[in-house]
Structure 1
């Protein structure tokens, strides 16, 4: 797993899809859920894996029925067991592929499987913007997560692991975990800021549309283990529209979006946010960083249609978990929720 698949879109797509196919053959409900969630987000991958997914679904469902009928406990993580039982309740053909629509300036999606995602630490109020790495908590060094990495190796001078996002919400969604075994908490340092800044520039020629996002602790980072979120989008995020004032347009964005075109200047701002204990979300693209300071999770109350706003939501994309919310959510309701995050 040494040669990076990130030199071209074709290589990345091949590595991404091949890894899912291998993972589908692994035992356990967690592996199945990850593959089904990623396939439901990509029509091409879904079509190539649909027959295999169907067979594995039936096998896992039979195991669950037999085990529970005998009064025994299901083996594996409780979260995975619960998610799969929900999938059983709606049936294999009842799982919807991700759907999208635009609502004024915003992007909405109905993400069926992601609706079943456990909250982990994103449901916890945060008392600060950092916390020491917890070896007893959830982190990426867990042995069962090793098979969820589809590539690991040296990527432009840093040992990196690319892991699937178990419940994706953007195309080619994966977690970029640098120096995983060093057990670094989710607190950005100058070294990794500079690295990701340069990485975004290096990857663009082979992966046009690539972006790298970061949720600070208390900004809906779901794991306190240093990681970034890599994605490849054919169209810009709503945040990047020319009509917004931060991009030179005439309209104000609901939140204060700061743009930096120098890694050094960006780091000065990030350091100030750290000293001021202000959480933030970042999106790196070639030669540019979008930085959005925001309130900490747990310090405000969202409406029931959302489970919280991280980098994708602050960039203008919103995941809904019910058909009715997807169909009826309007721009006013979205803006009302965004302004709650103003620090």
Structure 2
């Protein structure tokens, strides 16, 4: 057990524990070794991972962005203790668990499950945002990203969790120029196939900016707008990070393991690919055509509404 506010070796601890489980146990549904990679058009990062389609757990069927937690379905309190990398204790004594993702997209792909024993649904909360920010300000390098997929935004388990990734390559979303929108909030609506909002969070004023971000996310929840979130420090100082949010078209039903499931990673410019022919032949126009399918027609009106609530 580690204290959330006093964890100085998060990345090295995660890597060490993850490697031990990956190399010495049969917990993973498949191994992540020698994954083929490809860069398309200088900005889209592709990884070939056919095992994820054929060997991962069947995603849960979900129809409402605020669908209640269901004890009868799969959740993270049902996993083997062998899947636990480590646990973090918050100031209130709440336990936040870091698990391996047994069907990983890439090496070190893990899950952060805030307040795991409370059995919260996959709905973003102010407390969980704060937990992620605390973790991000304690990671030792900028290769760590943490992301969230809402229900109807290609989440596959209805139990509150965030994805942890460690990747040395810079993602396309981390290279774009943001336009100031309001307060510490920025906007990108011209360059991306799916426009996004961005909050620049400074360590000494994170609470205030997180309150602004929560107002936006609460609006999405109230309006049943699916969304994906990325936390990244890439390109910033040690005491700053970006919280990027994409409002997007809603999905319905179970997540299909098709050629492209556009969630947080894909919106960032990172595409896990399941088919070798797709991996070899897909072009930027194909990826962008898939991305733009999830762009909301009402993004401009969403911007106007958000200006009024901030």
TM-score (norm 2): 0.78
Q: Distance in 1 between matches of 2:15 and 2:258?
A: 35
Matched residue, 1:101:
38
Equivalent residue runs for 1:42-81 within 5 Å: none
Provide Cα deviations, 1:33-84, integer angstroms capped at 9, x if missing partner: 43x43x42xxxxxxxxxxxxxxxxxxxxxxxxxxxxxxxxxxxxxxxxxxxx
Matched residue, 1:284:
231
1:197 aligns with 2:150: no
Q: Secondary structure at the match of 1:176?
A: strand
Q: Secondary structure at the match of 1:217?
A: coil
Q: Secondary structure at the match of 1:115?
A: helix
Q: Is the CA contact (8 Å cut-off) linking 1:6 and 1:207 kept in structure 2?
A: no
Q: Is the CA contact (8 Å cut-off) linking 1:243 and 1:251 kept in structure 2?
A: no
Please point out which of 289, 311, 314 is paired with 2:264. 311
Q: Distance in 1 between matches of 2:63 and 2:10?
A: 42
Matched residue, 1:91:
none
Please point out which of 4, 12, 21 is paired with 1:10. 12
- State the shift of 1:127 in Å: 3.2
> How has the CA–CA distance of structure 1 residues 2 and 271 changed in structure 2, closer, same or farther, with 3 Å as cutoff?
closer
- Indicate the structure (1 or 2) with the bigger Cα radius of gyration: 1
1:295 aligns with 2:249: yes
Matched residue, 1:240:
174
Provide Cα deviations, 1:250-308, integer angstroms capped at 9, x if missing partner: 96111111101221211111011011110100011343210001111139x999532x2
Q: Is the CA contact (8 Å cut-off) linking 1:162 and 1:176 kept in structure 2?
A: yes
1:147 aligns with 2:82: yes
Bigger RCO of structures 1 and 2 (CA < 8 A, at least 6 apart): 2
Structure 2: give runs of 5+ residues left out of the alignment.
181-185, 201-208, 233-239, 297-310
Q: Is the CA contact (8 Å cut-off) linking 2:14 and 2:85 kept in structure 1?
A: no
In the comparison of the two structures, how many residue pairs are matched? 271
Q: Secondary structure at the match of 1:120?
A: coil
Matched residue, 2:122:
186
Report which of the two has the higher share of helix: 1
Taking only aligned residues, the RMSD between alpha carbons, in angstroms, comes to 2.8
Q: Secondary structure at the match of 1:338?
A: helix
Matched residue, 1:229:
163
Provide Cα deviations, 1:91-110, integer angstroms capped at 9, x if missing partner: xxxxxx31110111211111
TM-score (norm 1): 0.71
Q: Distance in 1 between matches of 2:197 and 2:262?
A: 18
Q: Is the CA contact (8 Å cut-off) linking 1:207 and 1:232 kept in structure 2?
A: no
- State the shift of 1:183 in Å: 0.8
Between 1:224-233 and 1:279-288, the stretch displaced more is 279-288
Q: Distance in 2 between matches of 1:155 and 1:236?
A: 31
1:208 aligns with 2:142: yes
Provide Cα deviations, 1:172-191, integer angstroms capped at 9, x if missing partner: 21001111111111111112
Q: Secondary structure at the match of 2:13?
A: helix
Structure 1: give runs of 5+ residues left out of the alignment.
25-30, 41-96
Q: Is the CA contact (8 Å cut-off) linking 1:302 and 1:337 kept in structure 2?
A: no
Please point out which of 133, 150, 166 is paired with 2:102. 166
Q: Secondary structure at the match of 2:19?
A: helix
Matched residue, 2:295:
342
- State the shift of 1:11 in Å: 3.2
> How has the CA–CA distance of structure 1 residues 342 and 250 changed in structure 2, closer, same or farther, with 3 Å as cutoff?
closer
Q: Secondary structure at the match of 1:141?
A: helix
Matched residue, 1:49:
none
Report which of the two has the higher share of strand: 2
1:322 aligns with 2:272: no
